[in-house]
Amino acid sequence: MPKNTVTFNLHAGRKIGRHYVVEALLGNGSEGEVYQIREVDTGIHRAAKFYYPHKDPKRHLPVKHAQKLNTLRRCPIVLQYHHSEAVTIRKKQYVALISDLYDGVPLDLWVSKHRGKRLSPYVALHVLYNLVKGLEEVHALKQYHGDVHSQNILIKPIGVGFELKLIDFYEWGRPNSEKLKQDIGDSVRIFYECIGGKKYYAKLPPDLKHICAAMRWDTILKRFPTMSSLRSHLESFEWSTML
């Protein structure tokens, strides 16, 4: 946390606007803090994000993020945004974004609980495929995430598959090719980390090395210039060895 950053430090039981009560801090990042809250009238649990004043002195970020989430509201990988809520904290006005509360766990934490703190190639491929399919829909709407990493992905195993949710969408300005390619490279990097990173790379089968490309950014983007091309490759490549 940067020096002189003012944290919200909201305690359990604290009223949020007219309708909600704080239950717990879920996490914090460079932009702000996210809390689990409860709707007083219905008992329904939600999530509320507050933005640090030093990162957003003019309170533009809640508006931009709400607009982006509304654009992406039909993408299954995106948590559903509900509304904004005006909140007074220590005599200052803030805007909190209220969204669904998801019971998945951060991907990095989930991976750390596996043997060797890494996933088998087969499982990692399925995680990558779910991530890529989700981001493909985001890109189709001319949007981007901008900061895809394993702490910004929530995962919940369901049956023989996985459900993923992306959180903390960044707003780096208008969508362009560079921002879309950043999401592609970040997705491959997550896969690379899930299967053990540099320590295990030399022992990977050629099929997986082809995807990771030794994390050479230019090679990755040459092979997979769009999220759709990466998804298509994952659906069609023939394994040269058992994973």
CATH number, residue 155:
1.10.510.10
Q: Which domain holds residue 114?
A: 105-236
Rounded percentage of the chain residues whose pLDDT exceeds 90: 84
Q: Does 119 share its domain with 165? A: yes
Q: Does 84 share its domain with 173? A: no
Q: Does 160 share its domain with 72? A: no
Whether 137 maps to a domain, the answer reads: yes
Please give the Cα distance from 234 to 131 (Å, whole number).
12
Mean pLDDT, the chain, integer: 93
pLDDT tops 60 at residue 185: yes
Q: Does 24 share its domain with 129? A: no
For residues 138-177, one letter each, b for 16 or more C-beta atoms within 10 angstroms of the residue's C-beta and e for the rest, the string is bbeeebbbbbbebebbbbeeeeeebbbbbbbbbeeeebee
Q: Does 227 share its domain with 175? A: yes
Q: How far separated are the first and last CA of the chain, in Å rounded?
A: 41
Q: Does 53 share its domain with 146? A: no
Q: Please report, for the domain that includes residue 53, its CATH number.
A: 3.30.200.20
Please give the Cα distance from 78 to 68 (Å, whole number).
10
Of 67, 100, 133, the residue at which a domain comes to its end is 100
Of 100, 128, 163, the residue at which a domain comes to its end is 100
Whether 242 maps to a domain, the answer reads: no
In this predicted model, what pLDDT tens digit does every residue of 153-178 receive, in sequence order?
999 999 988 999 999 998 888 999 99
In this predicted model, what pLDDT tens digit does every residue of 92-141 receive, in sequence order?
889 999 999 999 999 999 999 999 999 999 999 999 999 999 999 999 99
Q: Does 122 share its domain with 88? A: no
Q: Does 125 share its domain with 230? A: yes
Whether 8 maps to a domain, the answer reads: no
pLDDT tops 60 at residue 243: no
pLDDT tops 50 at residue 2: no
Of 37, 68, 100, the residue at which a domain comes to its end is 100
Q: Does 115 share its domain with 206? A: yes
Cβ-contact 48, 97 below 8 angstroms = yes
Q: Number of structural domains, the chain?
A: 2
Please give the Cα distance from 153 to 77 (Å, whole number).
9
Cβ-contact 156, 104 below 8 angstroms = yes
Q: Does 67 share its domain with 127? A: no
Whether 167 maps to a domain, the answer reads: yes
pLDDT tops 90 at residue 34: yes
What number is the average pLDDT over the span 21-26?
Answer: 96
Q: Does 167 share its domain with 117? A: yes
